[in-house]
Every structure is written in structure tokens, then in C-alpha cells.
Structure 1
Amino acid sequence: MVVPPWYELPPPGYGGLEQVCAALVDALVDRGHDVTLFGAGSGSGTRASFVGSAPAPAADRVGQVLPELAHLARVNQMLADERFDVVHDHTTAGVLFARHRPAPTVLTVHNRPTGELADVLTDVDPSAGLVAISHAQRRLRPELSWIDVVHNGMVGNLPVKARPGIGPVLWLARYAPDKGPDLAIHACRAAGLPLVLAGKCNEPVEEEYLHRVIEPMVGPDVTLLRNPDRQTCVDLLLAARCLIMPVRWEEPFGMAMLEAMATGTPVVALNRGAVPELINHGETGLICDDPVDLAPALRDVSAIEPENCVSHVRRWFSAERMAEGYERVYRAWSSDRRPELALSRSAWVP
């Protein structure tokens, strides 16, 4: 299992990808698999065997090219001396390194596969296959080398509320136009409800958007939090009336929606990307086609029972279900690709 070098597993705060990978690693170990995790930092947060490419994560350099490239180059050097059935890569640039590995590579695409990322993903070695995290994500570029769709899952260890929350509406994401914090403010004001904005704000583009667009909109009805830790996020979800997801982009997945529903908190979201794959409209949340519909949905959502949300996540988005999906992918891909991999490697001179 190869993860990006940005955060520990599981992350102490923001880090949806890292939460997913930590849950998957432990679920696979629990199911009897021998898992080696290649990452950065101490590696003490999962039950896998850990191999570090650097003594500390590069959290202060998230999104920069060189830290991930250096991480993957070191990982490939270490992989050359080992024997694995399959390599599961969760990095952005891993597709460029797969062809030099001694085992077939499965690459989970965690972001929207368009623009520059789509250009990278078109250069897929025959020994590597792409896994989508939602059908909506796969539909954005159906011609890419997809081999399956496996929804993200999560560990069912969050506390659960016994009755609908009576606290503020909660927005939980990174400060970016795509995530719609401004739409959340407008919707809550139209509904006459208080709002908590709790967002990741580490990168310059996030800082600039927060200062230029969001902070001037904040009033006494809006509480603004930057980089809340994990426990704070859980406490906010437990108190919240609902989670609002007014996304402006084709959301590839949206782990915040799963975490909200896992605590019994329903979700009000715009109908973009994977939203309808995660929310059962009228049972675990309300899906709106237009931003003007968000305000009435925020008022109506309190009728949804917490147990509907919790059972939905446990049935369809558990770590065990995710691990079963990847077991299917691993078995098919490692057996199908080994003859082709051996042939391509016989002609390759390092």
C-alpha cells in the first residue's frame, strides 16, 4: 500500500484520503492479508508493517511536485528488493512509476480525473489499472483505463447521536470555491439558521480565498474555524442540525458526508458528482438541484431520524465492504497481469 507523503495514517485532522487508507489497511489486515504500508512519518497508526520514505510527513508542502516524486522514487527503490502480489497506490503521480515495479499496480484515483490529471492518467502502463471511487467520477472520463469502481468506506467507531441535532448547520471541507462555503452562508441566512464553517486552510490558495471572499461575509450568525482537529470535527457533527454540502464541482466522493451520516447527522447537498451515490434522498439527507432549494431543505431536514443515517453507512460504506471490493480487484488484476508484466519486464533494462 503506497500512500502520499503529506500526512500520517490516520491523520490528526483534515485528510479524507488518509482516513480511507487507514481504514482499508486495517480491514485488510483483519481479513488475514499481509500488508506493508509505504508512507512518510512514524507509521504507528495502522496494523500494517510500515516502511517510511522520510522521517516526517511533508504537510507543509502539500501539492508540491517534488516531495511526492521523491517519495515515489524511494518507494520504487524499496519495492525492487521485495516480493508482493500487488501494489496499491493512492498517490497522484504513482501512475508514472508503476511501469518500473516488479508487481502489478492498482491505482485508486481520489481526485476529479479531468484537466491536467486526466493527461497524467492517460499514460497508464499495461501493468497498472485505475480504480474509481464513484460511478460519477468514472463517467467524467470513461475512456481511461478503469478496471473497477470501489466506494470509499470508513471504520464504524464514531459516537452516534440518539436524537436529531439541535445545533448549528455545519459546513466541513477545505476553503475553496468548489466546496461552496459562500453558498452555505447564503442558505443558512435565508433559512434563519446559525452556521459553523470548519475548514482546512493550509495552502496559499485556501488562505487567499478565505481572506478575500469568506471572512467579509462572516457575521454573528457564522462561526469560522480553521483546521479543526479530529475530535473537534466529531463534536461538531454530533451537535449539528445537519451537514451542508453545497458543492460547485463534480465531487468525486465526499468523505465528510459519510462521517456525518455515521454519527446520525443528515446531509443537505447539491446534486453534483457522487452526492446521489452517497445520500438516500429523504432518508439520510436531502439533495437539491438548485442553491435556492437549500434553505427550505435546511429547515426540513430535522425530520430525518439519526438511525436511518447510521444504518445506511454501516450497510453500504463500511471498511469491510471496501476491503471486499479491493480484494476482488487485487485477485483479478494480479492474476490477469502477471504474464503481461513478466513479458514487459524481460525487455526492460533498468
Structure 2
Amino acid sequence: MVVPPWYPVPPSGYGGLEQVVAGLVDGLVDRGHRVTLFGAGPGHGTDATYVPTVGELQHERLGEALPELAHLARVRRWLDPARFDVVHDHTTIGPLLADRRAVPTVATVHGNPVGEYGDVLSHVSPSVGLVAISHTQRRLNPRLPWAGTVHNAVETALFPRKQVPGTGPVLWLARFSPDKGPEVAVAACRAAGLPLVLAGKCNEPGERRHYTEVVEPLLGPDVRVVFDADRETCLRLLVDARCLIMPIQWDEPFGMVMVEAMATGTPVVALNRGAVPELLRPGVTGLTCDRPEDLPGALREADRLRPEDCVAHVAEHFSAAGMARGYEAVYRRSLTRPHATLVEPVPVR
């Protein structure tokens, strides 16, 4: 299992990819597989054997190419085909380099497979099995060599749960990015007469710029801002929230925060874009709106949805055990795909 070198697994704060991988690793170990996790930094919190390629996490260099390239080069040297059956790559660049590995690769596509990212993926070797995280994502670029679709998932036992509908503020939990629509959340909650918590990642230049130029001028006493919350804070905000608002302005390929909200019993109010229709059961676990103008009414109605229905939906459709079974099937199919070895590995000690 190869993750990017930016954040720990599981993450202490931001890091949806890392949260997914943590659940997947432990789910595979529970099913009897031996898993080695290649990451960065001094430690991890999974049941895998952990191999760091560098002693320090590289999140301060997020956005640079060299940290990930160096990380992948070290991983490739250590992939002894006598020790590993399949590599599961979660990095951006890894799939493009995978045909040089001594072991077959399955690669999860965590972003939208269009634009520049789509160009990279279109040059991936046919021997590399690309896995979509939603049917919506797969339809955006159907010509890629998809090997399957496996929804992201969570370990539901790790989530606190509310017993009655939340009476706290509406929660927006995302990056301070135009794609995530924090300014739309402010307008919708204000129109609904409901308080709002904006809990956002805001440590990259684009995020800080969007917050300062677009979001901050809209703030008032009805909006509380929480920057770069840790994992414990995020879970507490989810449990306390009346609902989660997802006013996305792009075709979100998944939306992990929606699953996490439902796992705590908190319903979701979202604009009907991207993978939202795949994740929610309208009228049961959330409410979807076709226009931003419809969000205020939906926010006022969210408290009629039952927490137990949200939790049951996640347990049935987005459990870590189910995700592990889905990937296990993809791994087995990958062993039958043609694979050419171009490099000699260095055995791991």
C-alpha cells in the first residue's frame, strides 16, 4: 500500500485519502492479508507493517513534485516480487511510473480524471488497473483503463453517534476553495436564519486567498470560523451539527465528509452535483437541491431526518469491511493482467 508522503495514516486532521487507506489496510488485515504500508514520517496507526521512505512528513512541501517522486523511487527499489503480490498506489504520479515496477499495480484515482490529471492518466500503461471511487468519477473519463469501482468507506465503530437530531449550528467542513462553496454556505444559512460553523483547511496560498478575499467579508455574528481543525474537533463538530451543508461548485468525485457525517448520525444537505446522488438517500440520510436558492428550505427541514437511518446507510454501503472486499476482488483480477518487469528490486530488510 503506497500513500503520498504528505500526511500520516490515519491523519491527525485533514486527510480524506489517508483516512480511507487506514480503514482499507485494517480491513484487509482482518481478512487475513499481509499488508505493508509505504509512507512518510515516524509512525502510523494501522495494523500493517510500516516502511517509511523518509523520516519526516512532507506536508510543508505539498504541491512540489520532487518529494513524491523521491518517495516513489525509494518504494520501487524495495518492491521485491518474492515478497509482494500487488502494489496498491494512492499517489498522483505513481500510476504513470507503475509499469517500471517489478510487481503488478492497482491505482486508486482520488481526483477528477479530467484536464491535466486526465492527460496523465491517459498515458498510464494498460497493465495498471485504475480504480474509480464512484461511478460518477468513472463516467467523466470512460476511456481510461478502469479495473473497477470501489466506493470509499469508513470504520463505523470509530465514530461517535448522536441519538437524537442535532440542535447545533449547520456545519460546513472542507477546504476554503471556490469548489467547496463556503460563501454559498454563508448565504444559505443566513437566508434560513440558522447559525453556521465554517471549519476549513486554510494553509495553502489559494485557500488563504479565497478566505480573505471572498469569505471573510461575508462573516458576521451568525458565523463561527474554525481553521485547520484536528480529527477530534471535526468529529465533535459533526456530532453537534444540525446537518452538514455541501454546496459544492464542481463535480466532486466522492465527498468523504458526507459519509463521515452520516456515520455520526448527521444528515447532509447538498447541491445535486458530482457523486452526491450515489452517496445520499434523499429524504432519508439527506436532502439534495438543484439550485443554491433551494438550500435554505432544505436546511430548515433537515432536523426531521433520523440519525439512526444515516448510521445504518453507512454501515450497509460504506463500511471498511465492504471496501476491503471490493479491493480484494480487484487485486485478484490484477494478477491475471499482463505485466512487464523493467527494473531489478532491492530486497527489503
TM-score range, shorter chain: over 0.9
Match of 2:258 in 1: 257
Q: 2:288 aligns to what SS in structure 1? A: strand
Q: 2:125 aligns to what SS in structure 1? A: coil
Per the TM alignment, residue 26 of structure 1 is displaced from its structure 2 partner at its CA by 0.6
Q: Do the aligned partners of 1:27 and 1:323 also contact (CA within 8 Å) in 2? A: yes
Q: 1:97 aligns to what SS in structure 2? A: helix
Q: Do the aligned partners of 1:4 and 1:68 also contact (CA within 8 Å) in 2? A: yes
Letter in 1 for 2:246: M
Match of 1:209 in 2: 210
Report the more deviating stretch, 264-273 or 72-81: 72-81
Correspondence 1:240 to 2:241: yes
> What CA distance in whole angstroms lies between the structure 2 residues aligned with 1:165 and 1:210?
27
Q: Deviations over 1:138-195 (max 9, x none)?
A: 0100111111000001011111101000000000000000000000000000000000
Match of 1:159 in 2: 160
Query: With structure 2 as the length reference, what TM-score do the two structures score?
Result: 0.96
Correspondence 1:17 to 2:46: no
Q: Deviations over 1:327-346 (max 9, x none)?
A: 00001111x12xx22xx33x
Per the TM alignment, residue 121 of structure 1 is displaced from its structure 2 partner at its CA by 0.1
Q: Deviations over 1:198-241 (max 9, x none)?
A: 00112111111111111111110000111001111111111100
- Which 4+ runs in 1 deviate beyond 3 A? none
Per the TM alignment, residue 83 of structure 1 is displaced from its structure 2 partner at its CA by 2.8
> What CA distance in whole angstroms lies between the structure 2 residues aligned with 1:127 and 1:38?
21
Q: Deviations over 1:75-99 (max 9, x none)?
A: 1111147531110000000112201
Match of 2:178 in 1: 177
> What CA distance in whole angstroms lies between the structure 1 residues aligned with 2:343 and 2:143?
31
Report the more deviating stretch, 78-87 or 52-61: 78-87
1:105-116 map, 5 Å:
105-116=105-116
Letter in 2 for 1:97: L
> What CA distance in whole angstroms lies between the structure 1 residues aligned with 2:201 and 2:133?
22
Match of 1:56 in 2: 56
Q: 2:107 aligns to what SS in structure 1? A: strand
Tell me the C-alpha RMSD between the 2 structures: 1.1
- How many residues were matched structurally? 343
Q: Deviations over 1:258-305 (max 9, x none)?
A: 110000000000011100100000000001111000000000111000
> What CA distance in whole angstroms lies between the structure 2 residues aligned with 1:333 and 1:154?
24
Per the TM alignment, residue 257 of structure 1 is displaced from its structure 2 partner at its CA by 0.3
Per the TM alignment, residue 127 of structure 1 is displaced from its structure 2 partner at its CA by 2.2
> What CA distance in whole angstroms lies between the structure 1 residues aligned with 2:44 and 2:249?
37
Q: Do the aligned partners of 2:134 and 2:275 also contact (CA within 8 Å) in 1? A: yes
- Cα distance change, pair 90–81 in 1 and its aligned pair in 2 (3 A): same
Q: Do the aligned partners of 2:101 and 2:343 also contact (CA within 8 Å) in 1? A: no
Identity %: 62
Match of 1:193 in 2: 194
- Cα distance change, pair 349–17 in 1 and its aligned pair in 2 (3 A): closer
Query: With structure 1 as the length reference, what TM-score do the two structures score?
Result: 0.96
Instruction: Could you tell me which runs of 5 or more consecutive residues in structure 1 were left unpaired when the two chains were aligned.
Output: none
Match of 1:312 in 2: 313
